[in-house]
C-alpha cells in the first residue's frame, strides 16, 4: 500500500464508498414513502452520516490545492464551470422527480406544484434536491481561494469554529422552518467546508499517514469509529449534546480514510470512485421511479429483514442505471448533461474519460 498508484486507488475507493452511502441514504428515504421502513437501517444510516459526507468533501479537497494557485479564469474554465453547469442542467430533472413524487407518494411536506416551482427557480441561490453537493463544491472552491493566503492555522480555525458553532449552537437553536428555508445547501456549507479545507491543507499529512499506516492500525481506527458511533446512536448522544456531532464527524473522516485504504484492492470500488459524477446526478431519479412503482403495492406487511435488504438492492439498480445512462448519452447530443459547452467554460472541453467527482488528478 505504499505506492503512488495505490494512493490514488484509495482515494477513488473513498469516493466509491461515499457515493454508495449517499445513494443508500436517499434510497432509504424515498422508500419510506412507499411503505418500506427499517428502524435498523435508519440507525445504520445515522451512524454512517459521520463518515459519508466528511469523507466525500475531504476527498474533494485533497487534490484541489492546484486549482487555488491558478488565476480565477482558469479556475472557472477548468473546474467551476463544469460543476455549476451540471448542477444547472440537471435541475429540471430534480423538478420532474419531485413533482412525480408529490403526485404519487403520500405524506410529503410542501408538495404543491407552486412550492416545487419556487424551489426550482431559486435553486442557484438555494439548492433544491440532492444535487446541493455540486453547488456546495463551487462555493467551497471560491471561499477557499479567497482565504488561501491566510495562515494554515487561521484558515482551519475559521472553518472549525463555523462547523462547531453550527452543530453546537445554530442547528439546535434555529426553528425547523428557518432550517428548511436555509436548505441542505447552506446547512451543508456551514457543516462541511472544514472537511474540504482539511483535504486541501492537510494533503501531505494525510498521504504520509496513509503510506505509513499498518493494516492493524487502519483496522483499529475503523473499529474505533464503529464502536463510538454504535454507542452514540444507542445513547442518542447528539440529541443531548449537539456539538458532539462535530467531533463524531471528525472521527468519521479518520475511520472513512482507514476503511478506504483497507478496501483499496477492490477494483469495483476503485472504478466506481472514478465515475461518481455520473452516479451522483442521476441516481435519485431512478430511486424515485422505483419508489413510485413499489408504492403501487401494499408493502406495509414487508418484514423487517426485507425492509432492511430492499434499499441496498435499490442502490445496486440505481447505480447500474446511472452508469448505463451515462454510457448511452455520450455518443449523442445529450452529452451536455455531463459536459459543459465551450461557450460556458470559454476553454477546451474536458475529456469525457477524465470526468470525475469531486476532483480530477
Helix (H, G, I), strand (E, B) or coil at 263: coil
- Buried b / exposed e across 172-185, counting CB within 10 Å, b at 16+? eeeeeeeeeebbbb
Residues 6+ apart with CB under 8 A from 263: 13, 17, 269
Q: How many CB atoms lie within 10 A of CB 236?
A: 10
Taking the domains of the chain in order of start, what are their residue ranges? Answer: 4-354
CB 190 within 8 A of CB 138: no
Report how far residue 55's alpha carbon sits from residue 8's, in angstroms, rounded to the nearest whole number: 15
pLDDT tens sequence across 140-177:
999 999 999 999 999 999 999 998 888 777 777 777 77
pLDDT in tens, 26-75: 999 999 988 888 899 999 999 999 999 999 999 999 988 888 889 999 99
Write out the three cell numbers for 200. 486541501
Of 12-21, 162-171, 285-294, 324-333, the range with the lowest mean pLDDT is: 162-171
Say if residues 351 and 78 touch (Cβ distance below 8 Å): no
Q: What is the DSSP letter of 166?
A: I
Give the pLDDT confidence of 270-302 residue by residue, as tens digits: 999 999 999 999 999 999 999 999 888 876 656
Least confidently predicted of 102-106, 149-153, 282-286, 315-319:
102-106
| Single pTM value for the model | 0.90
Please give the average per-residue pLDDT across 124-134, as a whole number: 87
The whole-number pLDDT of residue 300 equals 63
Residue 79: DSSP 8-state: I
Amino acid at each position: 500500500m505504499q505506492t503512488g498508484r495505490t494512493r490514488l486507488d484509495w482515494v477513488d475507493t473513498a469516493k466509491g464508498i461515499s457515493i454508495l452511502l449517499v445513494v443508500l441514504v436517499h434510497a432509504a428515504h424515498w422508500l419510506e414513502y412507499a411503505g418500506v421502513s427499517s428502524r435498523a437501517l435508519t440507525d445504520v444510516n445515522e451512524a454512517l452520516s459521520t463518515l459519508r459526507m466528511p469523507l466525500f468533501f475531504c476527498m474533494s479537497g485533497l487534490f484541489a490545492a492546484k486549482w487555488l494557485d491558478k488565476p480565477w479564469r482558469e479556475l472557472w474554465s477548468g473546474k467551476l464551470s463544469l460543476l455549476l453547469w451540471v448542477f444547472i442542467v440537471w435541475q429540471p430533472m430534480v423538478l420532474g422527480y419531485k413533482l412525480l413524487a408529490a403526485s404519487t407518494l403520500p405524506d410529503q411536506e410542501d408538495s404543491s406544484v407552486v412550492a416545487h416551482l419556487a424551489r426550482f427557480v431559486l435553486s442557484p441561490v438555494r439548492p433544491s434536491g440532492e444535487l446541493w453537493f455540486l453547488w456546495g463544491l463551487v462555493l467551497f472552491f471560491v471561499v477557499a481561494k479567497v482565504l488561501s493566503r491566510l495562515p494554515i492555522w487561521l484558515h482551519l480555525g475559521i472553518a472549525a469554529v463555523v462547523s462547531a458553532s453550527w452543530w453546537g449552537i445554530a442547528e439546535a437553536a434555529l426553528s425547523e422552518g428557518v432550517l428548511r428555508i436555509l436548505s441542505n445547501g447552506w446547512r451543508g456549507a456551514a457543516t462541511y467546508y472544514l472537511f474540504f479545507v482539511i483535504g486541501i491543507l492537510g494533503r501531505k499529512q494525510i498521504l504520509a499517514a496513509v503510506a505509513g499506516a499498518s493494516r492493524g492500525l487502519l483496522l483499529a481506527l475503523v473499529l474505533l469509529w464503529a464502536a463510538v458511533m454504535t454507542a452514540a446512536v444507542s445513547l442518542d448522544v447528539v440529541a443531548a449534546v449537539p456539538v458532539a456531532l462535530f467531533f463524531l464527524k471528525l472521527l468519521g473522516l479518520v475511520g472513512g480514510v482507514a476503511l478506504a485504504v483497507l478496501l483499496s484492492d477492490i477494483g469495483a470500488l476503485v472504478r466506481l470512485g472514478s465515475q461518481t459524477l455520473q452516479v451522483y446526478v442521476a441516481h435519485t431519479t431512478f430511486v424515485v421511479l422505483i419508489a413510485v412503482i413499489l408504492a403501487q403495492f401494499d408493502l406495509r406487511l414487508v418484514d423487517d429483514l426485507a425492509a432492511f435488504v430492499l434499499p441496498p438492492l435499490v442502490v445496486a439498480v440505481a447505480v447500474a442505471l446511472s452508469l448505463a445512462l451515462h454510457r448511452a448519452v455520450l455518443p449523442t447530443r445529450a452529452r451536455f448533461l455531463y459536459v459543459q459547452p465551450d461557450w460556458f467554460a470559454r476553454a477546451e472541453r474536458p475529456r469525457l474519460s477524465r470526468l470525475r467527482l469531486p476532483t480530477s488528478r
